[in-house]
Amino acid sequence: MKNSSQITTRINDQIIEIAGDKAFMPLGNFLRNSEGLTGTKIVCAEGDCGACTVLLATGTDSSGKLEFKSVNSCILPLYLVDGAQVITVEGIGKMEGMKVDLSEVQKKMIDNNGAQCGYCTPGFICAMAGAVESCKSAGTPMTEKKAKNYLTGNLCRCTGYQPIIDAMMSVDLGKAEFLKERYHNAEWIGKMKSIKKTSVEMKSLERSLFLPATLKEALKIKSQELDVRLVAGSTDLGVVVNKGKLETPKAMALYHIEELGSISHDAGHIIVGATVTLTQFEEYVENHYPEMSRLLHIFASPQIKNQGTLIGNVVNASPIADTIPFLMVSDAIVVIQNESGTREVVLKDFYLGYKKLDIAPDEIVTTIKIPILSQQEVTRLYKVSMRKDLDISAVTFAARVILDDSNKMTSVKIALGGVAATVVRLTDIEKALTGHDFTLKAFEDAAATLDQYIKPLSDLRASSAYRMLVSKNYFTKFAKEIIDQIGGGK
Ligand SMILES: Cc1cc2nc3c(=O)[nH]c(=O)nc-3n(C[C@H](O)[C@H](O)[C@H](O)COP(=O)(O)OP(=O)(O)OC[C@H]3O[C@@H](n4cnc5c(N)ncnc54)[C@H](O)[C@@H]3O)c2cc1C
Ligand code: FES
Ligand code: FES
- Give the pLDDT confidence of 397-430 residue by residue, as tens digits: 999 999 999 999 999 999 999 999 999 999 999 9
Q: Write down the pTM of the prediction.
A: 0.96
- Residue 240 maps to a domain: no
- Residue 95 maps to a domain: yes
- Residue 243 maps to a domain: no
Over 80: is that where the pLDDT of 489 sits?
Answer: no
CA 439 to chain centroid, in Å, comes to 36
Residues ≥6 apart with Cβ < 8 Å to 290: none
Ligand nearest to the CA of 27: 2
Q: Ligand 2 mean position to 125 CA, how many Å?
A: 14
pLDDT digits (tens, 9 = 90+) for 269-292: 999 999 999 999 999 998 889 999
Counting from 1 in the atom list of ligand 1, the atom nearest the Cα of 305 is 17
User: Residue 72: CB within 6 Å of ligand 2?
Assistant: yes
pLDDT digits (tens, 9 = 90+) for 346-365: 999 999 999 999 999 999 99
- Residue 331 maps to a domain: no
CB 175 within 8 A of CB 102: no
Q: Ligand 3 mean position to 350 CA, how many Å?
A: 44
Ligand nearest to the CA of 29: 2
Rounded CA-CA distance 252/203 in Å is 12
Q: Mean pLDDT across the chain, nearest whole number? A: 95
User: Helix, strand, or coil here: 453?
Assistant: coil
CB 234 within 8 A of CB 251: no
Domain boundary among 182, 203, 223: 182
User: Helix, strand, or coil here: 8?
Assistant: strand
Residue burial 105-123, b: 16+ Cβ < 10 Å; e: rest: bbbbbeebebbeeeebbbb
User: Helix, strand, or coil here: 46?
Assistant: coil
Domain boundary among 121, 152, 182: 182
- Residue 11 maps to a domain: yes
**Strands of 118-206, DSSP E:** 199-203
CATH number at residue 24: 3.10.20.30
Over 80: is that where the pLDDT of 111 sits?
Answer: yes
The closest alpha carbon to 418, from 451, 456, 446, belongs to 456
- Residue 399 maps to a domain: yes
Ligand nearest to the CA of 41: 2
Over 50: is that where the pLDDT of 490 sits?
Answer: no
User: Helix, strand, or coil here: 382?
Assistant: strand
Domain boundary among 182, 203, 220: 182
The closest alpha carbon to 51, from 132, 128, 119, belongs to 119
Q: Ligand 1 mean position to 233 CA, how many Å?
A: 7
253 C-beta neighbours (distance < 10 Å), count: 23
CATH number at residue 388: 3.30.390.50
Rounded CA-CA distance 483/375 in Å is 16
- Residue 233 maps to a domain: no
Counting from 1 in the atom list of ligand 1, the atom nearest the Cα of 323 is 11
Interval 338-343 mean pLDDT: 98
| Structural domain boundaries enclosing 415 | 377-490
Q: Ligand 1 mean position to 346 CA, how many Å?
A: 20
Residue nearest to atom 23 of ligand 1 (CA): 312
Q: Which of 70-79, 254-263, 372-381, 444-453 has the lowest mean pLDDT?
A: 372-381
The closest alpha carbon to 11, from 86, 78, 83, 70, belongs to 86
Instruction: Domain count for the chain, please give it.
Output: 2
Pocket test for ligand 3, best of 113, 154, 157, 161 (most atoms within 8 A of CB): 157
Q: Are strands 351-353 and 199-203 parallel, antiparallel or unpaired?
A: unpaired
- Residue 419 maps to a domain: yes
